[in-house]
Amino acid sequence: MATFRLARRLRSERAVDSMSDGQFAVLAALKVHGPHTLGELADRERVTAPSMNRTVNALEESGYLSRTADADDRRKVNIQLTEAGLAVVEETVRRRDSWLEHALDELTPEERDVLAHAAAIMREVAGR
């Protein structure tokens, strides 16, 4: 439960309050992994294509991403971040990092060491 609560607290540190976690996840995936097709995004986020289409439509209407025809295959449409979308991702990451840095600064060195060990164990478990 503590992991869920920490994740929820970090998610609250977003640049756009009206943006859902799913919408931000799409923007973050595009920043990290580059342009995707709708199907690729749906697979990456483990949602249906119609659900991803609604998310992409909302983000496109807000100016956070754009769609362009693929240069090699005109049947494919690539979805990529706009400058506004990139700014949202970067500001959200900055806010989350800042909040977490301040929270960790309040811990003792011993507590930070325990968290570092726990993080390594959590990474291992998550990779199974």
pLDDT per residue over 20-33, tens digit each?
A: 999 999 999 999 99
- Give yes or no for residue 56 having a pLDDT over 90: yes
- Give yes or no for residue 127 having a pLDDT over 90: no
Q: Which two tokens stand for residue 40?
A: 């690729």
CA pair distance 37, 95, nearest whole angstrom: 29
Summarize pLDDT for 71-81 with one digit per residue, the tens: 888 889 999 99
Pairing of strands 65-69, 77-81: antiparallel
Instruction: Please tell us whether the domain made up of 2-126 is placed in CATH 3.30.70.270.
Output: no
Mean pLDDT of the chain: 94
pLDDT of res. 27: 97
28-50 mean pLDDT: 95
**Angle between helices 83-105 and 21-33 in degrees, nearest 10:** 100
Q: What percent of the chain has pLDDT over 90?
A: 86
pLDDT of res. 73: 85
